[in-house]
Structure 1
Amino acid sequence: MTAQVGKTMRLKRVIDGTGVSVICALDHGMTSPAFLEPLADIHVRTSEAVAGGANVIMMSKGMIRVAAPAFSPTTSLALLLSASADPGGERPQIVQIAEVEEALRAGADAVVLFTALGGETEAGMVKILSAVGRECAVLGMPFIAEAEFPTTYASVEDLKQQYGFEYLRRNVRLCAELGADIVKTNWPGDRESFAKLVEATNGIPVVLAGGSRLEDVELLARMEQAMSVGAIGCSVGRNIFMHPSPEAITRALSRVIRERWSAEKAHAALLEETGSRGVNEVEVRETDEPKLDPAGAVLNVEACGICGTDARTFFNGDPGAPAPWVLGHEPVGTLEDVGPDADLPPGISKGDRVFLGSILTCGECRWCVDGFQNLCEHHLLYGYDPFPGAYSEHAAVPPIAMKNLIKLPPELPSDLATVADPFACALNGIEALDIRLGDTVVIVGSGPIGCWQAVMARDRGASRVYLTDVSAERLEIALRAVGHSVDHAFVAGEDNGVSEVMSLTGGTGPDRISVAAPSKEAQAAALIMAAKRARIVYFAGLPKHDPVSHLDMNQLHYKELAILGAYGATNRQYRITMGYLDRRQEELGRVVTHRFPLEGIAEAFETIRTGSGLKMVIVP
């Protein structure tokens, strides 16, 4: 009786008077494979989260001694009972390092245990989970079970692909069965799947884990969707304490959770509060010239393209581009200075005109060694943290990027050379498509990628090339650039172009389809319109907060279709691209529809927003 009253009283503080819980997890010193610098001052991080509206702070028994003064009278402590051994491994081992009784002595209102299933350690994990649930029932302590993927230091998309949705659902249910009072779990990819996780607890409250760093708008969108299907709040760590303004992002989450603001409204308020530049705002100003790294170089920038990734970051923000930040990852210029320890590629020297490939790779993993540098297990992107980009008169070339330098043909204009990055990516998609002589090809999406793929499809022997888009204006611009390579172009109707394609192909469908548009509808339509034994390449990715498409797998099965993805480009494809651009300058250069000085970069982004051009290039 007494224990149950104790648990009830403590839960009233963990789940506040509005029926929700905003938990800030500051316990990553126990779980992270590397030290996370913002946690160096745990007192300040706690103060920021509390000021932003967190009513629960999750941390270890060691750090609470330092952070306790930052707690308000209504802030609850959730004490972590577990740590991760070998946290950098594929499946870290969970070790219990504290007892429920210690949490009582520390004044905690809840205890937390990370739960990882599968592998040789599962039986021991279940025993620990069961013992903690039993002890919490005896001592009247609320139990928060973290029913998550075995490691939380990777993207949800990668983890879901590796372990599957059913791993999460089983974990959630097991935690509820063994005595959890609140279950914390990962975002499974979409609203409907999260609803199934909530349903699996059979009424035990569920909070959404923040996971790896996300764009603010994506984090808030996930939270809004989770709340709409029954979550009672969040448990967020890195997306709070690694944020440029931890208090402000906590407040934004609190507004979505407590006040049921939309993610869009909360994000707008966040931007207003932080005075964020870099999200729909741009500023051109004088800065110090980049310092020369002894193993790097400095580029005198002649031109830098605007990629779709740059545009998405400008419009929506990105955790890899903390404002104020210099974007730009398609630079061309002259090697103005080279460090004494720099390792330049063969044939390149100081003073040469070069292109810098954006995907920064380790050169050592299996994929790099096999020639698939675009799939490097440790890849980074130039123009994103920690490497500022090239919308500037001068740009630093970090040591990791030196091997990405490619010497330009003497007659290749700098503005056209900037498209080497997206053109090489388009080539990767075309190679995956494996066009044969006489094939009928449909390109869905008439942006720069779709335009170049239309040209390459014709070069590879396609008998018919059809180009489609949802925008008549964009399609018209595309045809002015590459119409000579296209047999027919049309605006997709309500059926996303299926009836038009079937009519054009006499009912048989195309042999090859490239979906070069980030559209679920286009992905689904491609399966329906495809000919038997056709090959489909999904070139464009979907938004990270909403990546799941509902596809008719019977089309795949009964028509023996092949569906492939294509991402980035390899070193070989970059080399091929440079020759391709040099030989076909006039033809391929038509896709570069706008050139802007550095001072006109805001206008360049606005041109992208309105869809009134194809490829934009900044010429400092």
Structure 2
Amino acid sequence: MTISQKPNIGVYTNPAHALYVAPAEPAADALTPAPEEVIVHVVATGICGSDIHFQKHGQIGPTMVVRDEHILGHESAGVVISVGSDVKDLVVGDRVALEPGVPCYKCDVCLSGHYNGCPDVQFKSTPPVPGFLRRYVNHPARWCHKINDMPYELGALLEPLSVALFGVETAGLKLGDPVVICGAGPIGIVSALCARAAGAEPIVITDIEQSRLDFAKSLVPSLRTVLVGRGETAEETAEHIIEAAGGLRPRICLECTGVQSSLHAGIYSLQFRGVCHCIGVGASTQSIPFMILSVNEIEIKFQYRYMNQWPKAIRIVNAGLLPGIEKMITHRFALEDAVSAFETSANPKSGSVKVMIFDEE
């Protein structure tokens, strides 16, 4: 089958919160890369919580707003099917993972090395930039990372893995550090895998759902789990964290929920001069326990996406340093069945961790 015989389709939402599959650009019979671009047949794409949030709520924060018909998806891997005239490092047939953020590389932020903070970044799936959830996509070759014979679904997992790796790096986690991870969703689970690979001990993980804690422990058996009771105070949760850690106060908190009560619990549990590193995205305005932070010299850090993590992520996966990471993929759907995939991912009763959408080569 030639490319032109298989139409380009994408997964859309809009300001009315619709979710549907429809024709996408570029049309299959008009696939032409710019000189520095490649055309990729997107084979695997994971559904992120932000995709669901854009569809159901129409925005994240005050600036990321769905204002038109919008293609979702930013956790993707595929195969190169066309190469621009200036591309030297990729050829047709190369399997690649797609880093979704394309910075300008002209501003002071980019030139300082922190390209994740580029004010003009074109980040796939963040409105108004269309995402990767389509059959064919143009993408700069600079942001296509070779994965060789790595399965496409693992290539798609490199995006959330890069978030976790950047969190572990930015938090300054050291060998032997006691760590608490707040939230056993996909980012919390992959953060637990990374913390274990980095030598953290003990590692405590919290969640309000026992099934998520059980799944996290199935991947990282040495985890200590804390089920957060509904109506429980943050101080009470902090005491449970310390108890689960064998009486140790964590030095590092990786906060992966963005929920204020979870943030507070992580802060209350930390030792003097501990670090609370916020990975999760939450409400635009939240309170903090100022005096607890002050008298304990606790540092709060934040991260925005990631930078310079993808080659490292590929090496780590290929070296087998994150055993069981593929088990995070609990459900698989064809591209044409993407609406069902989103319904499954958004349904807490489905038992899904990472839902993957496939389009066969």
- What range is the shorter-chain TM-score in? 0.7 to 0.9
Q: Which residue of 1 aligns with 2:220?
A: 483
Q: Which residue of 2 aligns with 1:333?
A: 78
Among residues 41, 44, 49, which one is paired with 1:308 in the alignment?
49
Q: Which residue of 2 aligns with 1:503?
A: 243
Report how far residue 293 of structure 1 moved. 4.0
1:503-536 deviation digits (Å, cap 9, x = unpaired): 2345552111110112011111222111111111
Q: Which residue of 1 aligns with 2:305?
A: 568
Q: Aligned letter for 2:101?
A: I
Per the alignment, in what secondary structure is the counterpart of residue 484 of structure 1? coil
> 2 CA distance for matches of 1:576 and 1:279?
39
> 2 CA distance for matches of 1:475 and 1:279?
35
Q: Which residue of 2 aligns with 1:608?
A: 345
Aligned pairs for 1:241-256 (under 5 A) are none
Report how far residue 599 of structure 1 moved. 2.3
CA distance 1:519–1:503, shift in 2 (3 Å) = same
Please state if 1:392 is matched with 2:134: yes
1:554-600 deviation digits (Å, cap 9, x = unpaired): 111111111111221112x1110011122227521111221111122
> 1 CA distance for matches of 2:227 and 2:116?
32
Per the alignment, in what secondary structure is the counterpart of residue 335 of structure 1? strand
1:64-98 deviation digits (Å, cap 9, x = unpaired): xxxxxxxxxxxxxxxxxxxxxxxxxxxxxxxxxxx
Q: Which residue of 1 aligns with 2:19?
A: 282
Contact 2:275–2:298 (8 Å) recurs in 1: yes
From the two aligned structures, give the one with the greater helix fraction.
1
Among residues 72, 90, 95, which one is paired with 1:348 in the alignment?
90
Please state if 1:380 is matched with 2:116: no
Q: Which has the larger radius of gyration?
A: 1
Q: Which residue of 2 aligns with 1:532?
A: 272
Contact 1:454–1:485 (8 Å) recurs in 2: no
Report how far residue 371 of structure 1 moved. 2.4
Report how far residue 619 of structure 1 moved. 0.1
Among residues 313, 332, 336, which one is paired with 1:599 in the alignment?
336
Per the alignment, in what secondary structure is the counterpart of residue 71 of structure 2? coil
Report how far residue 347 of structure 1 moved. 3.0
Q: Aligned letter for 1:514?
A: L
Please state if 1:580 is matched with 2:308: no
Please state if 1:421 is matched with 2:159: yes
> 2 CA distance for matches of 1:277 and 1:606?
16
CA distance 1:490–1:575, shift in 2 (3 Å) = same
Q: Which residue of 1 aligns with 2:291?
A: 554
> 2 CA distance for matches of 1:561 and 1:452?
24
CA distance 1:492–1:301, shift in 2 (3 Å) = same
Report how far residue 291 of structure 1 moved. 4.1
Q: Aligned letter for 1:608?
A: S
Contact 1:298–1:396 (8 Å) recurs in 2: yes
1:529-548 deviation digits (Å, cap 9, x = unpaired): 111111110111223xxx22
Gaps of 5+ in 2: 1-12
CA distance 1:394–1:521, shift in 2 (3 Å) = same
Report how far residue 463 of structure 1 moved. 1.9
Aligned pairs for 1:131-530 (under 5 A) are 277=14, 280-286=17-23, 288-289=27-28, 291-295=31-35, 296-318=37-59, 321-340=66-85, 342=86, 344=87, 347-385=89-127, 387-397=129-139, 401-410=140-149, 412-480=150-218, 482-486=219-223, 488-493=224-229, 494-496=232-234, 497-505=237-245, 507-530=247-270
Contact 1:604–1:616 (8 Å) recurs in 2: yes
Contact 1:279–1:313 (8 Å) recurs in 2: no
Q: Which residue of 2 aligns with 1:209?
A: none
Report how far residue 320 of structure 1 moved. 5.0
> 1 CA distance for matches of 2:287 and 2:189?
27
Q: Aligned letter for 1:382?
A: K
From the two aligned structures, give the one with the greater strand fraction.
2
Gaps of 5+ in 1: 1-275
CA distance 1:327–1:351, shift in 2 (3 Å) = same
Contact 1:478–1:614 (8 Å) recurs in 2: no
Report how far residue 335 of structure 1 moved. 1.3
CA distance 1:508–1:475, shift in 2 (3 Å) = closer
CA distance 1:605–1:364, shift in 2 (3 Å) = same
Report how far residue 394 of structure 1 moved. 1.5
1:183-224 deviation digits (Å, cap 9, x = unpaired): xxxxxxxxxxxxxxxxxxxxxxxxxxxxxxxxxxxxxxxxxx
Report how far residue 492 of structure 1 moved. 1.1
Q: Which residue of 2 aligns with 1:23?
A: none
- The answer to which structure, 1 or 2, has the higher relative contact order (CA under 8 A, 6+ apart) is 2
Contact 1:374–1:568 (8 Å) recurs in 2: yes
Q: Which residue of 1 aligns with 2:5?
A: none
Report how far residue 382 of structure 1 moved. 1.4
Q: Aligned letter for 1:449?
A: I
Per the alignment, in what secondary structure is the counterpart of residue 314 of structure 1? helix
Q: Aligned letter for 2:51?
A: D
Aligned residue pairs: how many? Answer: 332
> 1 CA distance for matches of 2:290 and 2:163?
27
1:402-422 deviation digits (Å, cap 9, x = unpaired): 321111132x10011101111
Contact 1:279–1:316 (8 Å) recurs in 2: no
